[in-house]
Structure 1
Amino acid sequence: MNILDEIIAYKRKEVEERKSLYPVKLLENSIYFSTLPVSMKKYIRREDKTGIIAEFKRKSPSKGIINAHAPVERTSIGYMQAGASALSVLTDKPSFGGSSEDLMTARKFNFCPIIRKDFTIDEYQVVEAKSIGADAILLIAAVLAPQQSKTLAAFARSFGMEVLLEVHDEEELKQNLEVGADLIGVNNRNLKTFEVSIDVSKRLAPMIPDSVVKVSESGISSADTIIELRKHGYQGFLMGENFMKHSRPERAAMEFMDELRRKSVQ
């Protein structure tokens, strides 16, 4: 089994356990069930924002601990004040050190769109995402059959939530063009080698329909890279590690986005 297989095997057990502890009826009592989700698609396209989806991530399978001590409240507020278009919050604990509580904290202090970053494999997790205040969910093509993704996407939209579909190569993209995602994210990291190359986003860009928002993920560490990716039609840029590796991620985000704004008008 590779790392992804191990994560999904654990996730299946975790979901079954959570179903018994927190039944759907209980989740539906959340105050967020009656609130209208904020559109990540619209926020990313707003000209007064940077297009950056700023991520709160404590650790990762490839890098280990990135930042174990940054507080969600200060970091998420700082991200938005810096000019981020949306927040991404990891809720997977074993691999990323996240939790549902992290997302709920971010929701409490921010009115922007928040995507729940997790390994969604079951409709229960969609209900769970809605109950903790998420506006969008992530679906990963590498762990779902196209029909599964299509079913989960339709279920998410029934709650007014949006869907970011993540792909890693041409084959995954071709197989999932009919899923009905609002945003398609190209992950520049090779799942087998963990090698990162922005060329993956450039190569797949012409294949992504203009009706969805193009998002580039992983390996973005300079303003010049974002400016280059915009030329290929990308409007969204998922960034976490580049900010989280600093003791004050929100300050790193502010400096980065200030630089991006300066270079964008040159």
Structure 2
Amino acid sequence: MSTVLDDIIVGVREDLGDRMRELPLGAVRDAATQRPAALDAFAALGGLDAPRRELKVIAEVKRRSPSKGQLADIVDPARLARDYADGGASVISVLTERRRFSGSLADFDAVRSAVEIPLLRKDFMVDEYQFHEARAHGADLVLLIAAALDDVQLKDFLELTHELGMNALVETHTEEEVDRGLAAGARILGVNVRNLKTLDVDRSVFGRLAGRIPSGPIIVAESGVRGSDDVAEYAGLGANAVLVGEALVTHGSPRERIADFQRRGAVAIAERLNRRS
């Protein structure tokens, strides 16, 4: 029986086929080479700091989700992105999957023109074309979902991402996927507490999986953030960054909410580091 993830990928491949017919791979590759060098998302997320004392926020431009339906009527994604950047977001994530998330590369282009911080192209990456396409639109970071890729694809796509000058957020949901991500050489490792096969959220997953990750990779907590208490919990359990969409797009003051997440996260990180010293 197919899962939610399986169904999403079917649609992603169909839409990808349409784009490939409109603009062949060679043309997309050429466009990618014309872009300025990608921004260093690894550094922006604290990758060069030791220890990482700040809680970084990846703020997401997200119109809808398969689990909640319509979240926000984002008329001006560029304006929202500027609010995120002014609030202190380290990276901005933009959904580009059309069918389930109502995202688009047009949204991504609007955000890219509005801010000068690293951007994550948030999509289901299953083909080489999408990586050149992401770079052609100015992406600095892409998402690799371990559950959607076999070991060879995960390693090859990670290498391609780095060859194009970008970084990858390798998303995991299980102990096995964490091990696979580490074996592939992931430098930014996400722990998503939402099961992409059922869409259920289990926040306890984060602590179990984060404890499996050695020092070195940036650990990103994904999904399940309702407010600053959840952010503090993730930071206390090892998160270096949180990826947040719904809790920001449904809030009246995303700029202030990001600042609050950072404050609560920094306190929790300090307490965690003190316990270890």
Output the TM-score relative to the length of structure 2: 0.88
Gaps of 5+ in 2: 269-277
| Cα pair 1:32 1:133 within 8 Å, conserved | no
Distance between the aligned counterparts of 2:229 and 2:244, measured in 1? 14
Match of 1:43 in 2: 44
| Cα pair 1:50 1:257 within 8 Å, conserved | no
User: Residues 111-155 of structure 1: CA distance to partner in whole angstroms, max 9, x if unpaired?
Assistant: 101010000000100000000110011010111112101101101
Alpha-carbon deviation of 1:15? Answer: 2.0
Residue 161 of structure 2 is aligned to residue 156 of structure 1: yes
Residue 52 to residue 25, structure 1, CA distance change in 2 (3 Å) = same
Distance between the aligned counterparts of 1:170 and 1:138, measured in 2? 19
Residue 207 of structure 2 is aligned to residue 202 of structure 1: yes
Residue 204 to residue 50, structure 1, CA distance change in 2 (3 Å) = closer
Match of 1:86 in 2: 91
Tell me the secondary structure at the aligned position of residue 134 of structure 1: coil
Q: Which amino acid aligns with 2:77?
A: V
User: Residues 5-47 of structure 1: CA distance to partner in whole angstroms, max 9, x if unpaired?
Assistant: 1111122222222212111232244377341111112111178
| Cα pair 1:50 1:84 within 8 Å, conserved | no
| Cα pair 2:124 2:144 within 8 Å, conserved | yes
Distance between the aligned counterparts of 1:211 and 1:33, measured in 2? 32
Residue 146 of structure 2 is aligned to residue 141 of structure 1: yes
| Count of matched residue pairs | 262
Write the mapping of 1:160-199 to structure 2, written as runs, cut at 5 A.
Answer: 160-199=165-204
Output the TM-score relative to the length of structure 1: 0.91
Match of 2:137 in 1: 132
Gaps of 5+ in 1: none
Residue 262 to residue 19, structure 1, CA distance change in 2 (3 Å) = closer
Residue 70 to residue 32, structure 1, CA distance change in 2 (3 Å) = farther
Distance between the aligned counterparts of 2:173 and 2:92, measured in 1? 21
Write the mapping of 1:1-266 to structure 2, written as runs, cut at 5 A.
Answer: 1-30=2-31, 33-45=34-46, 50-246=55-251, 248=252, 251=253, 253-263=254-264, 264=266
Distance between the aligned counterparts of 2:14 and 2:260, measured in 1? 44
| Cα pair 1:33 1:130 within 8 Å, conserved | no
Distance between the aligned counterparts of 2:64 and 2:236, measured in 1? 31
Distance between the aligned counterparts of 2:80 and 2:161, measured in 1? 27
Distance between the aligned counterparts of 1:201 and 1:181, measured in 2? 17
Residue 261 to residue 12, structure 1, CA distance change in 2 (3 Å) = closer
Tell me the secondary structure at the aligned position of residue 184 of structure 2: coil
Distance between the aligned counterparts of 1:180 and 1:2, measured in 2? 27
Alpha-carbon deviation of 1:255? Answer: 2.3
User: Residues 57-77 of structure 1: CA distance to partner in whole angstroms, max 9, x if unpaired?
Assistant: 111111111112341111000
| Cα pair 2:84 2:258 within 8 Å, conserved | no
Alpha-carbon deviation of 1:265? Answer: 5.5
RMSD: 2.1
Alpha-carbon deviation of 1:238? Answer: 0.3
Alpha-carbon deviation of 1:194? Answer: 2.2
Alpha-carbon deviation of 1:204? Answer: 0.6
Q: Which amino acid aligns with 2:208?
A: R
Which has the larger displacement, 108-117 or 189-198? 189-198
Residue 145 to residue 262, structure 1, CA distance change in 2 (3 Å) = closer
Alpha-carbon deviation of 1:106? Answer: 0.7
| Cα pair 2:62 2:71 within 8 Å, conserved | yes
Which has the larger displacement, 11-20 or 53-62? 11-20
Distance between the aligned counterparts of 2:147 and 2:99, measured in 1? 19
Q: Percent identity?
A: 35
